[in-house]
Structure 1
Amino acid sequence: MTMTHAARYGRLKLLALLLFLSLPVLVATVMALGRVGIPEGRTAHGELAPEIPVLAEWPLAANMAPSVSGDWVLAFDCGRRCAELSDQWWRLHRALGREAPRVSRLRVGGQAEALPGEVVARWAERPSWLEPGRLWLLDPRGQPVLGYPADVDPYAVKADLGRLLRMNPEAPWQGGQELAGQELAGR
């Protein structure tokens, strides 16, 4: 039994098509098993979930309790470079644009006057987890999300904060709007 030239050509085309379609699966399997060419998956520039307590448990002076509930919080220890750090984080806050009202800045320590939009507090006692000049990003419940060293690049912090704000959009009834008022207006 001999195959005609057209039948061999058709089978060859089918074999080439199957090989072409299975090639991505083969490459993906080799990449997964060999851990070759797979990105790390890390996108944050800071330390994820730093080992510090929630904001409500920070040892702040009693009359200095910050009122930043409902906002993301940029909290920083203001040590030797207080004026420089305050200005740096104020500029980053302004660079957030329309997302800026969703973020509060908490400066702990320092002698300088508060910059616009900055809440100033003092340590009642120095916590064991404190590192001078450190910056922390806290979620609206006061949970620590990211921690940064004193020499962090502000652009890295802005990128992380921008990503978090995009991934966690503001609820329509927040931001000065009342849910009940919206429901009544719609009737």
Structure 2
Amino acid sequence: MPHDAAVSSVSSRLKLLALFAVFLLPMAVAWGMVEWRLGIPEGRIAHGQLTPDLPALEDWPLAEVAKQGEDDWVLAFDCPADCDAQADRWWRLHRALGRDAHRISRLRLGGSGEVLPGAAAAAWTEAAAWRSPGRLWVFDPDGRAVLAYAPDVETAQVLEDLELLLERNPESPMARLHAE
């Protein structure tokens, strides 16, 4: 009988140690990761180019800049003379945002022809140093340029960045009431 009691005591102690390990081991591993910077990703980088030096949209040499909602992000693309395919591409991206599509306004800069539904057009009044035909810019609700994309960027990359921006900058709960 004493042998059974000793085995039971060892078994109980092993169970207790296993329980401590279950709770303390993750904290020790996390502390080690933070202390020695092991296994921590360097961070996510946007697919577009960050543009902190560009002036606010209201300071761009454009005529009649308009967006649909006061708190909208703006997706502005510099349209060369013939940009129907590009305009359609950004229209489709806008639709792909689904329930967050109402938080984005599209703005075609330059170009001619009919503007697609849900977009506004603005004409350049003079050439800007940063102007680049085919380039796409993303502006925050305050009109600051956040990201710029080259004409050959993949649409999926822009969509991924926009979804992340909208997720990290949630809509104010009062925004829908204010709009009504």
TM exceeds 0.5?
yes
Task: Specify the alignment match of 2:25 in structure 1.
Answer: 23
Identity percentage of aligned residues:
49
Residues in 2 aligned to 1:126 and 1:46: alpha-carbon distance in whole angstroms: 23
Residues in 2 aligned to 1:84 and 1:35: alpha-carbon distance in whole angstroms: 46
Given that 1:82 and 1:112 are in contact with CA atoms closer than 8 Å, whether structure 2 keeps it comes out as: no
Task: Specify the alignment match of 2:64 in structure 1.
Answer: 65
In the alignment, does 2:109 pair up with 1:105? no
Given that 2:75 and 2:104 are in contact with CA atoms closer than 8 Å, whether structure 1 keeps it comes out as: yes
Residues in 1 aligned to 2:154 and 2:79: alpha-carbon distance in whole angstroms: 17
Q: Deviations over 1:140-181 (max 9, x none)?
A: 221222222221221222232233334422513233x1xxxx
Residues in 1 aligned to 2:100 and 2:25: alpha-carbon distance in whole angstroms: 45
Residues in 2 aligned to 1:11 and 1:96: alpha-carbon distance in whole angstroms: 55
Shift in Å at residue 77 of structure 1? 0.9
Residues in 2 aligned to 1:13 and 1:163: alpha-carbon distance in whole angstroms: 44
Given that 2:58 and 2:65 are in contact with CA atoms closer than 8 Å, whether structure 1 keeps it comes out as: no
Q: What's the TM-score once normalised by structure 1's chain length?
A: 0.74
Given that 2:78 and 2:134 are in contact with CA atoms closer than 8 Å, whether structure 1 keeps it comes out as: yes
The one-letter amino acid of 1:55's match is L
Shift in Å at residue 6 of structure 1? 6.5
The one-letter amino acid of 2:178's match is Q
Q: Secondary structure at the match of 1:172?
A: helix
Q: Unaligned stretches of 5+ in structure 2?
A: none
Aligned pair in 2 of structure 1 residues 23, 132: CA closer, same or farther (>3 Å)? same
Instruction: Count the aligned residue pairs.
Output: 170
Shift in Å at residue 110 of structure 1? 1.6
Higher mean alpha-carbon deviation, 49-58 vs 97-106, is at: 97-106
Q: Deviations over 1:9-38 (max 9, x none)?
A: 255555554445332222223322332221
The one-letter amino acid of 2:89's match is Q
Shift in Å at residue 43 of structure 1? 5.9
Q: Deviations over 1:51-94 (max 9, x none)?
A: 2111100011xxx2112151221001112662221111111122
Task: Specify the alignment match of 2:157 in structure 1.
Answer: 156
Shift in Å at residue 100 of structure 1? 2.7
Given that 1:75 and 1:136 are in contact with CA atoms closer than 8 Å, whether structure 2 keeps it comes out as: yes
Shift in Å at residue 8 of structure 1? 6.9
Aligned pair in 2 of structure 1 residues 143, 20: CA closer, same or farther (>3 Å)? same
In the alignment, does 2:178 pair up with 1:174? yes
Q: How does 1:4-153 map to 2 (within 5 A)?
A: 5=6, 9=10, 14-42=16-44, 44-60=46-62, 64-68=63-67, 70=70, 71-79=72-80, 82-153=83-154
Q: What's the TM-score once normalised by structure 2's chain length?
A: 0.77
